[in-house]
Amino acid sequence: MHWRRNKYDSSYHYADQALNLARQHGDKFGEATAQNNLGIIASDTGQFHLSKGHYEAGLALRREIGDLQGEGYILNSLGIATIDQADYVQARAYFEAGMTISAKIGNRHEVAFAKHGLSHALCELGDYARAVEEALDGLRIARELGNLRGIALCAWRFATAQGFITRALIEDDGFGLALRLAEHIGDKFLQVRILADKARILALIGDIKGQNEALKRRELILGTL
**pLDDT, tens digit (0-9, with 9 covering 90-100), for 13-32:** 888 888 889 899 999 999 99
| pLDDT for the residue 7 | 54
Q: How far apart are CA 36 and CA 26, in angstroms?
A: 17
pLDDT above 70 (res 9)? no
State the alpha helices, DSSP H only, in the chain. 2-24, 28-44, 48-65, 68-84, 88-104, 108-124, 128-145, 148-166, 175-184, 188-204, 208-222
Residues whose CB falls within 8 Å of the CB of residue 217, separated by 6 or more in sequence, listed in order: 195
Average pLDDT over the chain reads 92
CB 115 within 8 Å of CB 154: yes
pLDDT bin (cut points 50, 70, 90) of residue 3 is very low
pLDDT bin (cut points 50, 70, 90) of residue 4 is very low
pLDDT above 50 (res 5)? no
**pLDDT, tens digit (0-9, with 9 covering 90-100), for 141-189:** 999 999 999 999 999 999 999 999 999 999 888 999 999 999 999 999 9
Domains for the chain: give ranges and CATH numbers. Answer: 1-66 (1.25.40)
The string over 111-143, giving b where at least 16 C-beta atoms fall within 10 Å of a residue's C-beta and e elsewhere, is bbbbbbbbbbbbbbeebbeebbbbbbbbbebbe
CB 218 within 8 Å of CB 199: yes
| pLDDT for the residue 46 | 77
